[in-house]
Chain A
Amino acid sequence: MKVLVIEDNKELAGSIYNFLAAEGYICELAYHFEEAREKLLLFPYDCILLDIMLPDGNGLDLLRFIKQEHIQSGILIISAKDSLDDKVNGLEGGADDYITKPFHLPELHARLRAIYRRQKLEGNNLVSFNEIGLNTDTLEATINDTLLDITKKEFDLLLYFVVNKNRVLSRQAIAAHLWGDYTDNLANFDFVYQHVKNLRKKINTARGADYIETVYGLGYRFNASRT
C-alpha cells in the first residue's frame, strides 16, 4: 500500500512513517499544503492521511482539490479539532473516515486498512491469516473454515489483532477501539482482559493457535510466529 501522510507536525509524521514502514507500506510525507498538492499531482497513492490544520492552508481545501482532480485515493482525515463541523464537512467532502488526535497508531492503521479494503478489494471483504478468516461484511469469523461463535465486540477485537499483528496493543488502545471516543471511562483493565480471555478461549476451543499473548504491564500482542 502506498500512503501519503500530510501532517505538519514532523514528530507525529515521523511516528506514523515508522509505524507504517514497519508494515511494509510505501510511505511518503508532506509537511505543507503546497508540497502535498505537488505530490498528489505527480504520484498516485492508495491512501491519504490528511491533517485538517496545515500551516499554509486548510486540509478541507486540499480535500476539495483531491476530489476536483479525481484522485482515486482513500482519504483518512486526522484532526485535532474535536468539532463536529469538521467531521461533517470532512465526510461530506468525500473523506472516507475521520480520526481525532491523540490517536493510537494501531487504531490509525486499522482504519487505514479498512479504507484500503473498501477501496481495492471490491466486494471481497475477507481478511485472513493462516487458519483465521474474518468476513468484515457479515462479521463472521472462521477457524479452519469452522464458524466461530463470537460476539460483535470479539469480532472487532480479533480483526484489530489480525490487522495489527506483532504489534503491542495497549489496553487503552483496545478499549478506545472497541468502545469509541465518548465511552471514556471504559478503560477498565480487567474488562479488556475479560474480552481477550474470552476470545482466546473460543479460538482455542475451535483448535486455532493461541496467537494472542500478554505483554507484561502493557497489553497484548498478536504473535504471528506462533503455531
Chain B
Amino acid sequence: MKLINKITYWFIGIVFLITPFTMYISYTNIKKKIDEAEVERMKDVNERVAEQLKSGEKPDRYALGRPISITPVQGPLPVKQTEVTEANFYNEDIKRRECRLTVSSFYMVNETPYRISSYNYVTKSDQILSGMINALVIKLLLIILSVGITARLLSRYVLYPFRQTMKIINNFDIKKKDKIELPATTTREFKELNTFLEKMTEKAMEDYASVKEFSENASHELQTPLAVIRSKLELLAETDIDACQASLIADTQNAIDKLSKINRSLTLLTRLDNHEFATSDDIKICRITKDVLAVYEDWIAHRGLQVRTDLCANVPVRIHPTLAEMLLNNLLSNAIRHNIEQGMIEIRLTPSRLTVINTGLPPEIPTEELFLRFKKSNQSADSIGLGLAIVKQICEVNQFDISYAYQQGQHIINIHFNVAENTAPQRVTGGRAAVT
C-alpha cells in the first residue's frame, strides 16, 4: 500500500472514530443551552407575574394569552424556589413526539403561597440529532473528499524528494565510482534519510573498493613472484641437468602450480564474497554444460567413464557467464576425478534444477563438510580442496540452493535455481550419450 493511502486511511478512520464523541458532546451542549435559555425566559415571566400579584395587580397583563397558570398551594413553600419538569409525550395531531418544558416558581404573596407555572414546547432532542446527522453525512463526505484530494496533491509535492531518493538508490551501482547525489529537501526526516544514505553508500563503495583492491593486490603481489620462479625453473630445465636435478625441478614446478591455483581460488572466493560478479542477464545453462563437457571429453574417455545427459534446452538462469562456467567446471572435474574406473556420470538439467550424479567411493567425512575450504575426503591428493567451496560460494551469490548426498555408491549434487518457472522449455536432448 502506498504511504499516502495509508496515511489517508488512518486519517479517515480517526475522523470516523472521533465523530460519535464530538456529536454526543455538541448534541448535549446544544440541548442544554436551548433548555437553559427557555428556563431562564420562563423564570423571568414567572417573576414578573409574581411581582404583579404582589402589587395586587391582576396578573392578566402577563398571563393573558400565555401558557401560564397561577395556583395557590397548600402548606409551606418548598425549599427550592423553582422547579423544572420535562414531559415527553406523543402528539397525535402532528404525529411526533414532543417535549414540554414546565417551569414552576413558588412565591409568597400576601401570606399565601402561590405556584406560578409557565410551560413551553421545546425542540425535541431527536430533532436536533437528526439534523446533526444530516449535517454529519455531508461533513464526512467533504472531509473524505478533501483529504483524498489534498493528500494526493500534497504527496506529489511533499514526497517528491523521497521518491527521487528511491529512484537514485534503485539505480545505485556499487561498481561505478561516482557518489550518489540526492535532491535537497526541507523535510527533516528526508534530510536525515538522505544523509544516512549518502554515508552508507559511500561506506559501501569504500569497502567494496578496498576489498577489490586487496584481492587484486593479493593476486598481483603473489602471482608475479610465482611467475618469476616458474620462468627461472623453465630456464633451468633448459640447461644441462641430470635426472636427479630434473626431478627436483619437477617437484618445485608442481608446488608452484598448486600455489598458483590456491592463490587464484582464494582470490576468486574473496571476489565472490565481494559480489563482483553481479549480472542482470540470463544465460542458457545447457549450452555451457555442453561446452564444459566437451572440454572434458578427453579426460572422460581416458578414464573410461560413461556419461548420461538429460538436458532441457532453453533453461535461462541468472548468473554471470564466467561463474556458470566455473561452477560446471568444478562440478564436472570433481565428478571425473572422484570417480571409479569404468564409472558413470549423469547430468540432469530441468528448468528448476541441475543434478550431477557420479559413482565414487564413499566420502570419509560428512558430505556437508566437503563444502568447507580445504576439506578433502580421501584420495586425490592432487586437488587443492577449494573446488566445492567455490561451487557453494557461487551458489550462495546467485541464491541457488545446493545439496550433496551420497546414496548407494553415488555422489549426488543438486542445485536448485529458485527461478520463477515462466517458460516451459522443450526437451530436446535426451537419452544416453555414451563416451568410451
- Mark A residues whose CB is within 8 Å of B: 9, 11-12, 15-16, 18-19, 22, 53, 80-84, 100-106, 153, 167-168, 170, 172-173, 179-180, 182-188, 190-191, 194-195, 215-218
Contacts and interface: CB of A to CB of B under 8 A. Distances in A.
A180 B322 CA distance: 14
B261 A168 contact: no
A215 B227 CA distance: 22
A104 B234 CA distance: 8
- Chain A CB within 10 Å — which of B220, B227, B230, B271 has the most? B227
Contact of B382 (A11, A80, A182, A185): A185
Nearest to A22: B238
Given A82-B267, A105-B234, A187 B333 contact: no
B339 interface: no
7 contacts: A15-B235, A19-B235, A82-B219, A172-B253, A179-B295, A182-B325, A182-B326
Interface residues of B, number: 47
Interface in B263-306: 264, 267-268, 271, 276, 295-296, 298-299, 302
Contacts of B243: 216-217
Contact of A102 (B221, B226, B268): B226
Contacts of A18: 235
A185 B337 contact: yes
B237 interface: yes
Interface string B207-223: 00000000010011101
Contacts of B227: 9, 12, 80, 101-103
A172 B228 contact: no
Closest 3 CB pairs of A and B: A15-B231, A102-B227, A80-B220
B42 to A, nearest CB: 97
B319 to A, nearest CB: 14
Given A83-B219, A188-B302, A195-B298, 14 more contacts: A9-B228, A15-B234, A18-B235, A102-B231, A168-B237, A170-B250, A182-B325, A182-B326, A185-B383, A217-B243, A217-B247, A217-B249, A218-B246, A218-B249
A183 B382 contact: no
Given A183-B333, A195-B298, A12 B246 contact: no
Nearest to B175: A85
A215 B226 contact: no
A182 B329 contact: yes
Contact of B216 (A11, A22, A83, A180): A83
A83 B383 CA distance: 23
B231 A84 contact: no
Interface string B308-332: 0000000000000010011001000
